[in-house]
Each structure stands twice: as C-alpha cells, then as structure tokens.
Chains A and B, each alone.
Chain A
C-alpha cells in the first residue's frame, strides 16, 4: 500500500512527533487536543527552519508537501523526545 501523503492536521501532528519536533504523546490522536498552540506553532516553525522553508508557523501547502516526501525514519531532532531527559 502506498503511504498517504500528509494532508491533515492529525497526520502532521503525528509526523512532527515521529521526527522529534513534538513529544511522543502527540502520536496518539486521542491526545492531540491537549497540544497547546505555542508548542504546536513552535514545532512547525522548527520543522520549517530545519527543512529550509519559509518560517510561517502555519501548516501551509509547502510544509505539507515536504512532509509528504519519502524520507529516512530517523528523527531530525535527536534527544528532544521523552526518552531522553535534558541535562
């Protein structure tokens, strides 16, 4: 089965969580409503900055397009997840 491109907020949330921009809890769609706006916007901005996109903090078309590209499964932000505490 071909993996569906990222097109919804929930899919984007899971993507940002999977690659280290949001905490792992965001991967559970049931928790998605608990995400505060600042964390959400920061995560998008961080992804946009890393990917060399315009930093808008919004889930715009360009951002969704890049999220839909085939990619490596390793996190972009190693050490930002909940499995590793910040010193």
Chain B
C-alpha cells in the first residue's frame, strides 16, 4: 500500500451527498455510501456520520465532464471517479455518465468504487497489490466484498487499530472511560530485565511479536512477556542459529532472518527451502553483518540498517536497491546509528531499539515522536514488563497509558481544534 502523506486529525468524520446520481434512488445511494464508509470503520475507530446540510469533512457529488475542479470526467468507461486526499479536503466526485448500479453485475458497482474513493479521502494512495481495494483498476462486480489485508494495514497505519473500548468523540473522553491500567507481569526468567539489549524483534505473519536475544527468544504480550518464555530459538525455529542480527516478516507471510553473511527464510516455524543462503545472492546490494531490518509502514518496502547507513530494498524493482543508497540514518530524524533492532509494531508505529532503550518513530512527520515520557525510553519496562528499571517507576506512578501497553489510547493525532488527543495528564 501507499500513503499520500496526509490524514484527518479526528476520527469522527462527517459527509454529505450534495449531488445525487440521476439513475438511482436517493435512499439506495445513501445506503450504499454508508456501506462504503463502513468498510473503513470495521478495523479502525473511524466513524462516519451523514449530514444533509452545513459544513462536512467529505462532500460527495455525482457530476459529469467539467465539474469545477479542473479534472473533467471522460464519459462512460475510462475514469470512473476521483477523490481528494485529506490535505486537499477529502471530497469525492463520481462520473455520472457511468451506469452506477447496486448489487448487479451490470454497469459499475457504486459500493466498490465509493469504498475505493473514500480510501483516498482518508489518505490512502493507490496500491500496487492487485487484490487490494486501493488498486486503481475496476475489477468488475464482486458479490462478496472483503477488505484486503493490504488495505487494512494501510488504514490502520494512519488511524490505528479498532479499540472497541469507547466511541471516540471530538472532545476529550472523561477519565472514567479510560481502560484500567494493569501492572505488567514480570517475566519468570528476568535476565532480559537485567540486560534488555536485544538482537532483533519482529512480527510473525499472525501478528505475534518475538524478541531474540542470544540463543533464546521471547514472545511478547501487549504488556510484557508471555508465560513460559524465554525458549530456545532452535526449538521455535528448527535449524536457525542464535545471535541473529536482524529479522522481518514480509507481506508474503515469510520471515527472513539475517546473521553474518547469511540469511534464512521461514514460513511460520518451518524453514522454507534450503537455507542458509548468502545475503549477497538473495539480497543484492545489501551488506553483510546487518544491525537491523524492517518493513516500513510508510511504503511497505524493506529497510536495512548498518552502522550509520541504511538501504531500501524493493524486490519488485531491478535493481532492488537504487544507486542512491546507502543513505545516512540521520535522514530518520532522531534515530541513532548502530541500531540493534527495528520493528513496525502491530499498532502501526515504527520502533527502533538500541542498547537498553527504544525510540518510537512518527511515520508521517518522519521524526522520532515527541511524547511524555520522552523517547528514548527503557525497553525493559515498556516492552518486557520489567519493574524497577531506570525511569520506569515514574512512568508507573503516573499510570501513563502510553503504548506499547495501550497503543490506541496514546495515539497523538494532532493538537488542532477538535482533535482527538490523550496525554498522561488528560
């Protein structure tokens, strides 16, 4: 998926259909448009409310040919609709020369096209995944609609995952509505608390997060380490050595591990072929002895880090690494050199780990996030649930619900009027 670069600061959005299509009943259109918006509400806390008058976030119009925005429609076929990204207002225009239909293989399905256009209204660009709703080409009527994982990851990277804990409003929610804070459990084997420097962190294809250290691995819960861990890496991933340099799971569902000059590919816990192989063969242009690797949420491409440099790897391109790489890590504002690990966490944020500390990266601002307490923060407390680590006591005393424990609660979506923002004090 690809993000345009802007998003709404609020999650409760309003819309208005200011010009209806000529061939469909208004009630039917209202229902299809509501269904199309609901596609984006299912996996996020976004809500969409229809208004019939007054200012709204997203205005919808069915128009033909030149309609005032300098991008005229072209009659039946060709361009079906277009929409503006949040920074340009979010409006969605549909070519009324099309034969818009509802639940029929004839004509052009309104629901499918509207759901796609509202993706743009929310900040998504076109995806190069043909199965994604945000792919640019109309696929014809699909009787059963299911949002692709690519689209789901895209929208959650902008607006977070669904919390279901309360309905967000433009006002600050009363503190009584906050989920209760549960002190994290301390792992039984607390060696990770004494030395929280890790080798690598990655998400599995099923969304589980694992931390590797030496010849052991830890399965993380939302607030600490799952009971029964650490375990031996050789037990969880037969054939894989300890002291891994870097790892990531790609969108093909396979996990890649890097150590020294070699790499291994796994499908779940099974080695996916004859490994190890040389990094120089499978990842042309990427150096050996890596520090960290991740699939960045901003564009879905693979990034490798070593020393003070980083490389972008796109398997679909030839060559997969552009000549302009490596580039200095200082391009990632606030991220230090000589990293230990990098991870796009399940809440959509990107995290960088070095020594016993970690940094949360704001993908849209392209800088380390500003928050209270500030980054870097101690990994032991925030990721492994350890107590009595430097600065963890103060955090616990304040009962700050900052992630990774309560990721959605700490979403900082801006400070403008009407924005949805929670801090440890609010």
**Chain A interface residues toward B at CB < 8 A:** 1-3, 5, 19, 49-52, 55, 66, 69-76, 78-79
- Interface-lining segment among B70-78, B221-229, B338-346: B70-78
In Å, the complex CA distance between A3 and B99 comes to 13
Chain A residues lying within 8 Å of B75, measured Cβ to Cβ, are 1-3
Q: A49-B316, A73-B71 are in contact. Are A66 and B76 (CB under 8 A)?
A: no
Q: A52-B130, A70-B108, A72-B126 are in contact. Are A3 and B317 (CB under 8 A)?
A: no
Chain B residues lying within 8 Å of A51, measured Cβ to Cβ, are 128, 130, 137
Chain B residues lying within 8 Å of A69, measured Cβ to Cβ, are 137-138
**B78–A3 contact, CB under 8 A?**
yes
**Chain B interface residues toward A at CB < 8 A:** 2, 4-5, 71, 73-83, 85, 97-98, 108, 113, 116-117, 120, 125-126, 128, 130, 136-138, 316-318
**A74–B138 contact, CB under 8 A?**
no
Smallest CB–CB gap between B330 and chain A, Å?
A: 15
In this complex, which of B78, B120, B317, B318 has the most chain A Cβ atoms within 10 angstroms of its Cβ? B78
Chain B residues lying within 8 Å of A73, measured Cβ to Cβ, are 71, 73, 79-82
**A52–B128 contact, CB under 8 A?**
yes
**A72–B71 contact, CB under 8 A?**
no
Chain A: CB-nearest residue to B318: A55
22 pairs, CB–CB < 8 Å, chain A vs chain B: A49-B317, A50-B128, A51-B128, A51-B130, A70-B80, A71-B80, A71-B137, A71-B138, A72-B79, A72-B81, A72-B113, A72-B138, A73-B71, A73-B73, A73-B80, A74-B83, A74-B120, A74-B136, A76-B136, A78-B2, A78-B5, A78-B125
Chain B residues lying within 8 Å of A76, measured Cβ to Cβ, are 125-126, 136
In Å, the complex CA distance between A70 and B123 comes to 22
Chain A residues lying within 8 Å of B73, measured Cβ to Cβ, are 73
**A72–B128 contact, CB under 8 A?**
no
**B77–A70 contact, CB under 8 A?**
yes
Given A3-B75, A70-B108, A74-B83, 8 additional A-B pairs, CB 8 A:
A1-B97, A51-B128, A51-B137, A55-B318, A70-B80, A70-B137, A71-B79, A74-B136
